[in-house]
Amino acid sequence: MRRISVFGATGSVGQSALDLVARDAGAYDVVALTGGRNVVQLAKDAQALGADLAVTCYPECYQDLKDLLAGTGIAVAAGPAAVAEAAAREADWALSAIVGAAGLVPGLTALAQGNTLALANKESLVTAGPLLLGEAKAHGATVLPVDSEHSAVFQALVGEDMTAVERVIITASGGAFRDWPVEKLATATLAEASNHPNWDMGQRITIDSASMFNKAMELIETKEFFNVSSDMIEVLVHRESLIHAMVGFNDGALMAHVGPPDMRHAIGYALHWPERRTLPVERLDLAKIGKLTFEAPDAARYPALALATRVMEQGGLSGAAFNAAKERALDGFIAGEIGFLDMSRVVAATLDKMSSQTGVQTADITLDSVLETDRLARIYAGEAFGQLG
C-alpha cells in the first residue's frame, strides 16, 4: 500500500485530494492529515481514511480534535511544530495544500525524506524556491506541481528538451473584476472579491485571483519550478479557464493543456505520476463550448503583475518579502483595514523599503534569512497601511 500524507487536508485542495483517495481507499495507507480550525472535518476524514495521525496547526484547537477522535486510536497533536513532525513521518507521497508561507517548513521537512512532494502551496516556491528545490535535490526527492498552470506546463514538457523551450504562457481568468471599470476597483468589497467566475477555491486564493496577485505568484512559481528566465514567461487572459498553460517551442509549436477547471485533474496527475489513471473529472465537449478567447492582461487593472516581474528580476529574498507583504496586505483587506487597490500599493512600498534598507535582492536564501525576511516584511507592510494617501 502507498503511504500518503496530506497537509492542509481540510482546505479546498486538500478536500479534492481526499475525494480522490477515498474513491480508492484500499490502495492507500494514510499516515498523517493536518488541518487548522476545521477540526470536525479533519476528525471525520482521519477516521474515514484510517489515518495514523491528525494534527491541527492551532494549539487552541487541540482539545476539540482530541475529543472528536477519543477512542479511535488515531494520534492527535497541535501547533506548527506538530505539523512539521507530521511531515517528518515517512510517507511515499505527501501533498502540501497548506495556504501561505506556513507551508514552507512542512514542505522542507517532507523533502528531507527523499520521497515525493506534490506541491500546491505556491507560497513556499515564491518565498524560497531555490532553498526548497535545493533540498529536494540534496535528498533525491521529487517535487511535483499541483497548481493547475504548473501541472499543465509539466505535462506539456513530458519528453521534451528544455533547450527547445522558447516561452511558457500561463493563463488567467481575469478574476472577479475583469469587466469592472478600473476606476471602480478601489471600492471593491470583500464579498465581491471572494467570488471567482470559474474556479471554486479557498477564500485567500480567490481574492488573489481578483487582484491577480495569484497570477503574479504563479509567474514567480513558473520561474522557480521550471528554471526559465522571467522574459520567457507570459500571462494571457483566457476567460473560459479551459487552457491552463501553453509551452512554446523553438519550431513555433505551442503545446496547450486543455481541461475542465477542476483541481482533481492536477492533483490526480501528481498522485498517479508518472502514470495517467482514470479521473472523475468532466470530459469537455469542445463543439458545445464553441470558442475560446484570449486577451493581453491590462497592466493598469492588474498592478500585481509588474510587481512579480520586479521580484523575478531582483531575485534573492525579494520573493520572500513579496509573499509576506502580500499575505499581510490580504489580511488587511479581509479585516477591512485597507481597500482592494491598496494591497498592491502596500506590497510595492514594502519591496521598496526592503530593497533599499535591507538589501533583500542580494541576500542568501537560507531558512533563517527567509523567515527573518518574512517577519520584517509583515511589519513593514503593516506600517505601510498608515502611509497610504
- Judged by CB under 5 A, the chain residues 149 through 168 that form the site for Mg ion are 149
- Closest approach of ligand NDP to the CB of residue 218, in Å: 9
Question: Nearer Cβ to ligand NDP, position 47 or 358?
Answer: 47
Contact call for residue 221 and Mg ion (CB under 5 A): no
- Closest approach of ligand NDP to the CB of residue 104, in Å: 10
- Please report, as ranges, the residues that interact with ligand NDP according to CB under 6 A: 8-14, 35-38, 57, 83, 97-100, 102, 120-123, 147-148, 199, 201-202, 204-205, 263
- Closest approach of ligand NDP to the CB of residue 206, in Å: 8
Question: Nearer Cβ to ligand NDP, position 144 or 363?
Answer: 144
Question: Nearer Cβ to Mg ion, position 35 or 261?
Answer: 261
Question: Nearer Cβ to ligand NDP, position 10 or 116?
Answer: 10
- Closest approach of Mg ion to the CB of residue 308, in Å: 14
Question: Nearer Cβ to ligand NDP, position 96 or 115?
Answer: 96
Q: Which three cell numbers stand for residue 71?
A: 477512542
Contact call for residue 45 and Mg ion (CB under 5 A): no
The phi, psi pair for 256, rounded to 5°, reads -105, 140
Q: CB under 5 to 8 A by kind: which of ligand NDP, Mg ion, none does 99 bind? A: ligand NDP
Question: Nearer Cβ to Mg ion, position 222 or 361?
Answer: 222
Contact call for residue 147 and Mg ion (CB under 5 A): yes
- Closest approach of ligand NDP to the CB of residue 115, in Å: 20
- Closest approach of ligand NDP to the CB of residue 352, in Å: 25
Q: CB under 5 to 8 A by kind: which of Mg ion, ligand NDP, none does 83 bind? A: ligand NDP
- Closest approach of Mg ion to the CB of residue 222, in Å: 10
Q: Where do contacts with Mg ion occur on this chain (CB under 5 A)? A: 147-149
